[in-house]
Chain A
Amino acid sequence: MSLLDKIPHRGASKAHRPWPRANVGEEGWLKAIDLLAAGDVTMLGFWGEPAAVHLALLSEDSGEIAVFSLDCGAGQFPSVSRRHPPALRLERTIRDLFGLEAVGATDTRPWLDHGAWSRPAPFRRQAAARETGPYRFLASEGDGLHQVAVGPIHAGIIEPGHFRFSANGEYVVRLEQRFGYAHKGVESLMSGASLDDAARLASRTSGDSTVAYALAFARAAEAALQIDVPVRAHYLRALMAELERLANHLGDIGAICNDASFALMHAQTGILRELCLRAADVSFGHRLMMDAIVPGGVARDIARAGPPRLRGLLAEIRKVFPRLVELYDNTASLQDRTVTSGIVRAEYARQFGAGGYVGRACGRAFDARRSPGYEPYQDLSFDVPVLEAGDVNARVWIRIREVEQSLSLIDQILDRLPEGEIRTPVQVRGHVSEGMALIEAFRGDVLAWLRLDGENRIERCHLRDASWFQWPLLEAAIKDNIVADFPLCNKSFNCSYSGADL
């Protein structure tokens, strides 16, 4: 039975591609919540508009995806988080941005809004009242408990966010995250923007995943406008995406070891990461490859010096990396820190639909390149490594295996890179259209959804980082670990603050 058959709806939007979007009434909405709470479907996204909310659902068995929309003319909708906790932060965000109330929600604290914006509920047409007063952290009670407040500014050079630890001696009893410090209003700035301007904003949602975001945005726009992208552009996009994955995984492997005070690995992988960025600069004219992917294709072709430089990069990594892997595997003091630290339970990863190395390190095999899949990956051969342990060590090993896969993918892409055009001109269609895309960034799947008006301007665009469904699992994973292992666990997740704060 398909998703659309399971959930009563009133007809589907024809202009929504590539997956269907159906309008539901309260009955359909509650049925969708039932399916989520029962674990029959996974929540891919949950976002608002001034007078509607949308739920994107995935059926993990069939790979089917559909969006369900509920009209909220009365300014409210039945709470999803009440029965499906992964929706909680998204629901609080919908309230902060649109002023829509989740009826029955147990946690109505603001999430992104710290009371410092020039206007509350910025998407709402009429002025909204703002809640004031201090933020209430969740309580922990017991003898000898103390709190440690960390952030928003951290000791290292990382993004801003607040962590509130309740600890018993060295052991963490509860961690509560408070974010929103990097909230820039990306989605609000996109509304009314041209495709090109919005693509630049999307590329800066999370700088470390700029290629993935540009790709997700471009594919959503291309789906809406029914644009066929030249084959060469598909290959160049995948080349950039794998280079980005490679650079980030190499950086992460070293940084995780560094947080266990094993600086040698950090220094060595830092060299390899830098070589990746330099090869990207030579090939595509920017170290992080920002703005290189645009709706319709790619902004520029790979430089002539690019392919030989990339082959050299692959050779260097293949020479050095296996030795570093051996070093990781054979250093007992390092293993002592990473093995059994920060365990994510498999049922949480399933419930939250946690993607990337967080999900794959504890048995959730989801990889957007495979399913739903997108060009050109169906023509390339690669494995999706999956482990069961769910600890820091498993998340390191997933990255190690994915480095190997990306090396092979880059080789395959360079071998097969077809000649031809790199960009299809984007035409104005003259009517409203909607598109959606799911892209595998280095840390997990990024969802992009947009609605374009007849002039190709953005009416509404929503970008959902993989971190939304990974951050809450860190709260659970750190429980009963020592406070001093938090940086290590946090780095092994390496979630995006900016990507989730938007």
Chain B
Amino acid sequence: MRKTLLESIARGPLTEPPPAPDEAALAELAGNIEKAAQARLGRSLAIRVVDAGSCNGCELEINALANAFYDLERFGLRLVASPRHADVLMVTGPVTGNMREALLRAYNAIPDPKWVVAVGACAADGGLFKGSYACVGGVSDVVPVDLHIPGCPPSPTTLLKGLLALLQHVGNAGRGQQGPSS
């Protein structure tokens, strides 16, 4: 183990420079985030992910955000276990009828101010599963959505661009004096 650890230190980090925040995402967010909320949150966001019936492809790529190449936490973005610790609800899947209630409860358990990010083609409007007897449709049919990240599934870089846009938008409003949000 010592050898592996020492080599990891010697070879330098694998972590890559962050991508530029996505312009389209910034534009979508501009209309969705209130100044009051911006004043309360800094460059630190806690994210709770809910799979509302995805094929698990989106989960694979969200999990990849934690690997050494993307290292999500360096941006102050953390994936948390409880919605009560979260600022952001990230939702994947076409929202199956069977998950609708659980999604709503998770949303309601997140303290204000909060944002919802719909991840992937299914979360946008049901995607391939649109019109199924078993699916509600897009996430926005159940909870208000602030940002859509497209893709099937979105790559970690696409996810990061969207989340950085969210972070920048929240951060730009000049907060940071009030300490961590959670």
Contacts and interface: CB of A to CB of B under 8 A. Distances in A.
Interface in B37-70: 49-64, 66-69
Interface in A142-191: 152-153, 155-160, 180-186, 188-189
A271 B15 CA distance: 10
Given A160-B102, A264-B1, A271-B14, A184 B56 contact: no
Interface residues of A, number: 53
B110 interface: no
Contacts of A273: 64, 67
Contacts of A181: 53, 96, 98-99, 102
Nearest to B56: A207
B128 A189 contact: yes
A403 to B, nearest CB: 17
Interface stretch (B25-33, B130-138, B141-149, B162-170): B130-138
B94 interface: yes
Contacts of B140: none
A281 B153 CA distance: 13
Interface string A201-226: 10011111010000000000000000
A182 B133 contact: no
A292 interface: no
Contacts of B58: 207
Contacts of B56: 159, 206-208, 496-498
Closest 9 CB pairs of A and B: A207-B57, A116-B97, A185-B132, A155-B81, A185-B134, A270-B67, A207-B55, A204-B55, A207-B56
Nearest to A497: B56
Nearest to B126: A184
Given A206-B55, A207-B56, A287-B155, A185 B135 contact: yes
Interface of A: 112, 114, 116-119, 122, 152-153, 155-160, 180-186, 188-189, 200-201, 204-208, 210, 251, 264, 267-268, 270-271, 273-274, 277, 281, 287-288, 290, 323-324, 327, 331, 496-498, 501
A200 B122 CA distance: 13
Grouping DSSP codes into helix (H, G, I), strand (E, B) and loop, the B interface class, with mixed when no group exceeds half, is: mixed
Contact of A184 (B14, B68, B100, B135): B135
Given A153-B106, A271-B69, A498 B54 contact: yes
A185 B129 contact: yes
Contacts of A287: 61, 155
Contacts of B106: 153
B60 A288 contact: yes
A261 to B, nearest CB: 14
Given A160-B99, A204-B128, A206-B56, A182 B93 contact: yes
Given A159-B51, A207-B58, A116 B64 contact: no
A157 B59 contact: yes
Interface string B85-102: 000000001101111111
B178 interface: no
A477 to B, nearest CB: 22
A247 to B, nearest CB: 9
Contacts of B63: 157
29 contacts: A114-B98, A119-B133, A122-B133, A155-B81, A157-B59, A157-B63, A159-B56, A160-B50, A160-B51, A160-B52, A160-B102, A184-B94, A184-B134, A185-B132, A188-B133, A188-B134, A206-B55, A208-B60, A267-B68, A270-B66, A270-B67, A271-B67, A274-B68, A277-B64, A287-B61, A287-B155, A498-B53, A498-B54, A498-B55
Contacts of A204: 55, 57, 128, 152
B128 A200 contact: yes
B177 interface: no
Contacts of A264: 1, 4-5
Contacts of A268: 4
A288 B67 contact: no
Contacts of A159: 51, 54, 56, 59
B96 A207 contact: no
Nearest to A248: B60
Contacts of A200: 128
A351 to B, nearest CB: 28
A496 B54 CA distance: 11
Contact of B133 (A185, A267, A277, A497): A185
Contacts of A327: 1, 4
A210 B59 CA distance: 14
Nearest to A291: B152
Contact of B54 (A182, A185, A277): A182
B67 A274 contact: yes
Contacts of B152: 204, 290
